Every structure is written in C-alpha cells, then in structure tokens.
Amino acid sequence: MPILRKRLLVDEWVIIAPERADRPQQFETSTISQRSICPFCPQGAELTPPTISSWQSPAYPEEQWAVRAIPNKFPALRVEESPDTGDDPLYQTRSGLGAHEVIIEAPSHHKNWEELSPQHLRVVLESWRDRMTDLSGDERLRCAVVFKNQGPLAGATLEHVHSQLVALPRVPSKLQRELDGANQYHLDHDRCAICDMIARERQSGERIVIENEGAIAIAPYGSRMPFELWILPMDHHGDFMASGESLLQKVAQLVADVLPLCTKAIGSRAHNLILHTLPFDLVGEPYYHWHLQLLPRTGRIAGFEWGSDIFINATPSEVAAHHLRNLVP
Amino acid sequence: MPILRKRLLVDEWVIIAPERADRPQQFETSTISQRSICPFCPQGAELTPPTISSWQSPAYPEEQWAVRAIPNKFPALRVEESPDTGDDPLYQTRSGLGAHEVIIEAPSHHKNWEELSPQHLRVVLESWRDRMTDLSGDERLRCAVVFKNQGPLAGATLEHVHSQLVALPRVPSKLQRELDGANQYHLDHDRCAICDMIARERQSGERIVIENEGAIAIAPYGSRMPFELWILPMDHHGDFMASGESLLQKVAQLVADVLPLCTKAIGSRAHNLILHTLPFDLVGEPYYHWHLQLLPRTGRIAGFEWGSDIFINATPSEVAAHHLRNLVP
C-alpha cells in the first residue's frame, strides 16, 4: 500500500511505495528493461493491466488502438485508497490516494516522439486531455501531473514510447508555488505573466526557437539547464483540459518541429517533458497559462542544486536558442 | 561574469555562468576528467589557483598541508562582484556576488571519505567551519552551502577527494523554506523539531543506523530516496560554525563508521553530502539544528519529481536502517 509521508520541516511529501521494489538492495542501474516481448506492443498486451481508454489515430488506421491508457502496474498511488489525515505534528502521513496511469503512445515499438507524426502527436496530447478530464470528475482528486521520462538517465525503464499521469488529492508544493507566483503577478499587473513573457520574447526574438500560428518554443530567461525549452500556446489558455483539436495540432506540430533541432544540437539525450496546467478546481482562474517544459539531461544535479534549489547553467538561454534557430532546415 | 536570473513565477534563482562552458554543445558525459597530473595532488598545485587557507592533520604529519582551500577555478559566483538589483518585474537579475571555493580534503590521491581516518575527517569538518567563519565576516554574504559531489553521477568531475563551498548574498529558497518550517515548529511547540525527531527516533530505534556519545545517523521518516541518511549532533547545536573539536570528532567518527555500512548495503554509489546549518545572521536562533544529509544515487530523478517535488521511494527508511544496522561489524 503506498502511503505519503511529509518531510520534516518542509511542506514536501514523499510517496513510500514498497511494492515498487523487490528487495531493498536492488536498484535501477541506468538500463532499459530487456524482455523478449515488449509489454507495450500489441502482442504484449497480456502483460499489462487492462485498458482504461484507447484512441484512434490517422497514423495507425488499421490498428485496434493507436494510443491506450492503462493503470501503472506498480502504482505510486491508487484510487482504491480513502483520504485520511495523520495528526502527528512531527510525522505527518496521508493515504496513497490518487491515480497512476501509463499512456502507451503508439502501437508500434517507437522509442521517442521524434518517430511520431505531428498528427499522431496531437492524438497523444488529446489522450492526456481526455484522461485528465475523466479523472477530474473524481472529487477526491485535485490535479494531475503528466510527464514523459525519455531515456534511462531521465528515469525511463521501458523503451516503447509512453508517458505517465499521476493524479493527486493535493496540489504539490512545487506547482503551488508556481500558481502563487502567477496569481501574485496577475494581482499586481492584471495580466498573465506567461502572456507577458511571450510578448516580451517576441519583441526581442533572442530566446525564441521557433513558432507557428498557434504555439511557440522559448528557451526561458531563467533556464535551469542548457537547452531547457518551454512550449506554449501563443494565446492565453490556462486549462489544458479545455484544449481543442486545432490548438493541440499546432502544439503537436511545434513539438515535431523542435525536437529534431534539439537532437541535432545536443544529440539524442535523455530528457523529461512535463505538462504544467491548472489544478482541476482552479480551471476558471485567469492567471495561469499551460505549457510543456522540456528538460534535457546535459549534466548532473549536484550537491549545490540539492542543497539550494539554485541551478548553475553555463549556457544562457539566448545562446541555446540562437544555436537551435541556426539548425532550422 | 556570472549573473543570477530569477525563474519566472517562482522565487528560485539560476546562476548563469557561461565561463564554466567552452562551447554550448559540449556537456558533461558522466566521466571523470582524465589528466596526467591531478591538479589536487601536491605535484599539481601549479594548476590550481593559490591557497586561501590550509590545515595540518595528525594523518599527514610530514606534508606541507593536509587540507587546503582554494578558489574554484571556474567560479559560479565571485567576491569581486558588487551587489545590485534589477527592477524588471518579469526578468529579475542579481549580480554574481558570492564565493565559490574548493576544499582539497587530503594531499594523497584518495577518492572518497571512506579512505580517510576519523581524525582526518575531523580536520576536514574543521576546514569547512573555518572557511565559513571567515566568509561570514563579509557583510555582503548571508549563508554558505557546503557540499560534496561523490562520483560522476552526483556531479563530480575530479576524482581526488574534495568538497565545495558556495557563499551567497541571499538565503536560497530551499533553505529558507526549511528555516521557516523549523521556526514555525519552534513557535508552536517551543522545542527544536530536529531535537524532537532525535528523541522520537531514540524511543523506537527503528530508523537509527548507529550512534555514538555525540552524534547519530538516522534514516529520516520522510526519506526522498532509498538509504537517505541524516547525520546529526545528538545535542542541540544550531550553528555549525560554533562546533568545537570534540563535537566534530564525534561527528567525524560517526561518518567514518556509517559510510562503510552504506557501501556494503548498496555498493560504492555516487552520492551527495550536504551540510545544513543556519545562515550567518541567524546563528543565535534556537529553532535549527545543523546536520549532514547524505543522498545516495540509487535511482533517477524523473519527470514526476521534476514536476511536483514529490519523490517516490520504494524503500521505507525503517527498512533501510534495519538493513544497515545488520551490517554493523
């Protein structure tokens, strides 16, 4: 049974999920699981839990499913848990209530998003939207974190292209701080900070990688690491769940255009890609702007970063953006 | 010139230090620098900046120095900078004022703390204390983060045993949140939260690894990762800089006793070790308790952790502590 424990002194929580390990001395060793049958390929379907939802796609007209969502076989959180609260001021706990799903992003054994067409990537984004929308109907859940772990150095353990969704009964402290900052900026300026950022970047152009009529890829001013990229809807959209096909197609096209530039610039690197959007119960709020954050693993997180949350980045974002723009075909 | 940039929406800062990179497309590839002469060995001294301070040690009676502190050759921050403040609400900046020093922890080419004697480890801790004390005299600086990167996966680029010290003109948000939580607990309970934690752990014993008459090693209740350990003075000590030889000897002995247990349990893993202590201007405050945090790299930081600050840990701390206790000779 997973359980949440609060860390001492800070409002940060840890999910203790002993069933995700066999024995305490066995740990990930940076390798992708090697099996004779890939559990995410159609012929491996018996190895996975049953499908929650599936989606069709123009890219795979003959297949039973083009994208499918399944429960994580080793869930960090479970919908079967009931909410509760420990009252120990020193050692606070919560039940492991939540959801942990895997989105298998294609029936073919592709290994990353660069191998998927923009049309199909749109379906992947639609699957995220639809799973979030479904889970947002559970009143016990407050938000979802959707993310990709690409490559073993970024935490992937299976090669077949997939993403994950974790829905939580509380807003994680990291997202809460971001929401608080966005809200404060909106209170101070009566504008969305991210809209203001996009406008500013479009004036100078120096940190823009590419844009299309609906989406833009920016190396953010305060990049934590070389080639960190944010991919944003050009217009103001706070709630990812409200995204229509047209917007998601433009975002998917931008993703399909920008990923090969990154690979040309820094090689086929492990990376994480994380969706940032409003919690379920704040979808009407005007101060946030959903976006994707792409975090390539160009270095290590060292003791200074662990101790301070201050990242040291030797590649200013305008240098990275310039480099990427020069690679546009 | 390093410069600090604030991240959008959150009170988190990034140090942009372009001089730490040669070219944007060149990145760390998980390897230790291979040179014919180690710059941290006595015969490589000409390759490093000049010594700031050095220390003698009973372990190296014949050597000119047993521990020495030098400026980092590629500093993330520099004392030559002057303080300033950008007034742009969207893109805030600060000058790269601060200090970035390297502590070469032994003249011999040892590779980790397990190869150092407890007596010599005490001298290493004294060198941290002395450098912090010296830097705390600079009124522009508010705190220091002292840390070790052990192994390339934890950010080390040189093999020779060393630690680093970064002094900052502001308290990093991560430390500030910890201080706020400790202060609040003290306001609520009139006791130090960490003292309470030690007392609680000594009652149950289940998360204690080892202790001696002055220090204790605990696998914390809310461990973010398997075999995370905190090493603490048994009695209440808020300010590391006030530590005398006797206390540091007991802490050093505990470190020397606990590290081989970790290696037996999980192998010689990359890890970070981070000193947590009060900022310079808060040394009289009663609510904090300095300690070392040992973070072994048993897995990867994946997209969920990046997006939420919530860690998923498959090894509860009481399991880790039990495992380590069983390895005590």
CB A131 within 8 A of CB A120: no
- Structural domain includes residue A15: no
In the block, which residue shows the tokens 């480099």? A323
**Of the partner residues B11, B224, B314, the one whose CB lies closest to the CB of residue A20:** B314
Do residues B128 and B261 share a domain?
A: no
Do residues B193 and B164 share a domain?
A: no
- Structural domain includes residue A182: yes
Residue A303 has pLDDT above 50, yes or no: yes
Percent of chain B with pLDDT over 90: 85
Do residues A134 and A98 share a domain?
A: yes
Q: Which of A156, A172, A188 is the last residue of a domain?
A: A172
Confidence of residue A25 (pLDDT cuts 50, 70, 90): very low
Q: What is the CATH number of the domain that holds A77?
A: 3.30.428.10
Residue A91 has pLDDT above 80, yes or no: yes
**Of the partner residues B181, B188, B272, the one whose CB lies closest to the CB of residue A303:** B272
Q: What is the pLDDT of residues B120-143, one digit of tens each?
A: 999 999 999 999 999 999 999 999
Quick one: closest CA in B to A74, which residue?
Answer: B314
pLDDT at B27: 61
pLDDT at B25: 41
pLDDT at B76: 87
**Of the partner residues A10, A168, A316, the one whose CB lies closest to the CB of residue B18:** A316
Do residues B310 and B213 share a domain?
A: yes
Q: What is the pLDDT of residues B273-317, one digit of tens each?
A: 999 999 999 999 999 999 999 999 988 889 999 999 999 999 999
Average pLDDT in the A133-158 region?
A: 95
Decide if B139 touches A, using CB distance below 8 A: no
Q: What is the pLDDT of residues B224-278, one digit of tens each?
A: 999 999 999 999 999 999 999 999 999 999 999 999 999 999 999 999 999 999 9
pLDDT at A84: 67
Closest CA of chain A from B167, distance in Å? 11
Contact A172 B310 (CB under 8 A): yes
Do residues A185 and A313 share a domain?
A: yes
Do residues B217 and B287 share a domain?
A: yes
Q: What is the pLDDT of residues B159-170, one digit of tens each?
A: 999 999 999 999
pLDDT at B31: 63
Q: Which long-range contacts (CB under 8 A, 24 or more apart) does B76-84 make?
A: B76/A304, B76/A312, B76/B2, B76/B15, B76/B17, B76/B20, B76/B100, B76/B166, B77/B2, B77/B15, B77/B166, B77/B167, B77/B168, B78/B1, B78/B2, B79/B138, B81/B1, B81/B2, B83/B140, B83/B169
Domain that holds residue B226: 187-325
- Structural domain includes residue A12: no
Percent of chain A with pLDDT over 90: 85
Do residues B121 and B207 share a domain?
A: no
- Structural domain includes residue B146: yes
Confidence of residue A24 (pLDDT cuts 50, 70, 90): very low
Q: Which of B135, B170, B205 is the last residue of a domain?
A: B170
Give the 3-state DSSP-derived string for chain B, with helices as H, strands as E and coil as C: CCEEEECCCCCCEEEECHHHCCCCCCCCCCCCCCCCCCCCCHHHHHHCCCCCEEECCCCCCCCCCCEEEEECCCCCCECCCCCCECCCCCCCEEECECEEEEEECCCCCCCCHHHCCHHHHHHHHHHHHHHHHHHHCCCCCCEEEEEEEECHHHCCCCCCCEEEEEEECCCCHHHHHHHHHHHHHHHHHCCCHHHHHHHHHHHHCCCEEEECCCEEEECCCCCCCCCCEEEEECCCCCCHHHCCHHHHHHHHHHHHHHHHHHHHHHCCCCEEEEEECCCHHHCCCCCCCCEEEEEECCCCCCHHHHHHCCEEECCCHHHHHHHHHCCCC
Do residues B202 and B285 share a domain?
A: yes
Could you tell me the CA-to-CA distances from A182 to A141, A288, A291, B64, B184 in Å, in that order?
22, 6, 13, 55, 26
Rounded Cα distance, A69 and A236, in Å: 28
Q: What is the pLDDT of residues B31-88, one digit of tens each?
A: 677 778 999 999 999 999 999 999 999 999 999 999 999 999 888 898 877 766 667 8
Cβ-Cβ contacts under 8 Å, A224 against chain B: 7, 14
Do residues B233 and B161 share a domain?
A: no
pLDDT at A23: 41
Contact A314 B166 (CB under 8 A): no
Residue window 42-101, chain B: list those with CB within 8 Å of chain A.
Answer: 76, 89-91
pLDDT at A26: 55
Average pLDDT in the A7-33 region?
A: 73
Do residues A300 and A165 share a domain?
A: no
ipTM score for this prediction:
0.93
Confidence of residue B144 (pLDDT cuts 50, 70, 90): very high
Do residues B155 and B191 share a domain?
A: no
CA B141 to centroid of chain Cα atoms: 18
Q: Which of B170, B201, B235 is the last residue of a domain?
A: B170
Q: What is the pTM of this model?
A: 0.94
Closest CA to B239 of B123, B326, B143: B143
Quick one: closest CA in B to A92, which residue?
Answer: B222
Structurally, chain A folds into a number of domains equal to: 2
Residue A152 has pLDDT above 80, yes or no: yes
- Structural domain includes residue A317: yes
What is the crossing angle of helices A317-325 and A245-266, to 10°? Answer: 100
Do residues B198 and B161 share a domain?
A: no
Average pLDDT in the A66-93 region?
A: 85
What is the crossing angle of helices B245-266 and B118-136, to 10°? Answer: 120
pLDDT at B82: 72
- Structural domain includes residue B178: no
- Structural domain includes residue B176: no
Q: For all residues of chain B together, what is the average pLDDT?
A: 93
pLDDT at B84: 67
Q: What is the pLDDT of residues A202-258, one digit of tens each?
A: 999 999 999 999 999 999 999 999 999 999 999 999 999 999 999 999 999 999 999
- Structural domain includes residue B296: yes
Which has the minimum average pLDDT: B88-92, B96-100, B189-193? Answer: B88-92
